[in-house]
């Protein structure tokens, strides 16, 4: 199944018996500040349509926005992958870029290496990664300096 009007992302509903029900993958361009937030906006709308609890939609929207913005601001470009299975919502980013030399330092509130341009546009408060951590049930960051960064963010779906 393909989302109408979409060119740069794939949208599949998995009927093969694997547990991922939805996998959607988006390209995020470096320094495309005009488009920044579009991907997380789409994810937010989709989760609303799926009837996900509004508080959880908000947490996923904040985390995916911050992860998307980090690709725009800090990477050379990458992919944001959105997955839903019966247990979890997952946001995964994979980028090519400078990587994060000290992840513990990068997680500190207020720490930012954002460019002057990004700061002029109002980004670079150094709150993105701490916000993702707060919103998520699980956050895993892997990074290789000079190669890129992978973020895996998980949210548990509550079952009644
Ligand atoms: N995808 C990434 N690639 C390289 N560095 C990153 C990436 N994401 C985050 N960082 C590093 O971690 C720092 C903190 O990120 P964050 O908390 O989102 O703050 P901000 O984006 O406002 O700088 C960034 O300034 C940057 O040094
Ligand atoms: Mg950020």
Q: Are 25 and 79 in contact (CB under 8 A)?
A: yes
Provide the pLDDT for residue 64: 98
d(CA 28, CA 3): 17
Between 19 and 156, whose confidence is greater? 156
80: left (phi over 0), alpha (psi -120 to 50) or beta: beta
> Would the pLDDT of 17 be above 80?
no
Q: Which domains does the chain show, CATH number per domain?
A: 9-156 (3.30.565.10)
Could you read off the pLDDT of 98-140 as tens digits, one per residue? 999 999 999 999 999 999 999 999 999 999 999 999 999 999 9
Distance (Å) from CA 10 to ligand 2 centroid: 25
Residues with CB under 6 A from ligand 1: 66, 70-71, 73-75, 95, 97-100, 106, 111-114, 123-130, 149
In order, the DSSP letters of 97-153 are: SS--S-HHHHTSTT-----HHHHHTT---S-HHHHHHHH-SEEEEEEETTTEEEEEE
> Would the pLDDT of 6 be above 50?
no
């Amino acid at each position: 199944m393909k989302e109408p009007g979409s060119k740069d992302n794939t949208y599949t509903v998995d009927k093969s018996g694997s547990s991922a029900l939805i996998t959607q993958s988006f390209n995020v361009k470096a320094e495309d500040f005009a488009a920044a937030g579009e991907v997380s906006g789409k994810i937010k709308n989709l989760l609303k349509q799926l009837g996900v609890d509004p508080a959880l939609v908000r947490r996923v929207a904040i985390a995916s926005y911050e992860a998307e913005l980090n690709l725009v601001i800090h990477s050379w470009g990458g992919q944001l992958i959105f997955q839903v299975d019966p247990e979890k919502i997952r946001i995964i980013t994979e980028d090519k870029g400078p990587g994060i030399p000290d992840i513990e330092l990068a997680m500190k509130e207020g720490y930012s290496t954002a460019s002057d341009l990004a700061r002029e546009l109002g980004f670079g408060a150094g709150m993105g990664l701490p916000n993702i951590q707060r919103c998520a049930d699980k956050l895993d960051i892997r990074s290789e300096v000079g190669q890129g960064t992978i973020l895996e963010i998980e949210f548990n779906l509550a079952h009644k």
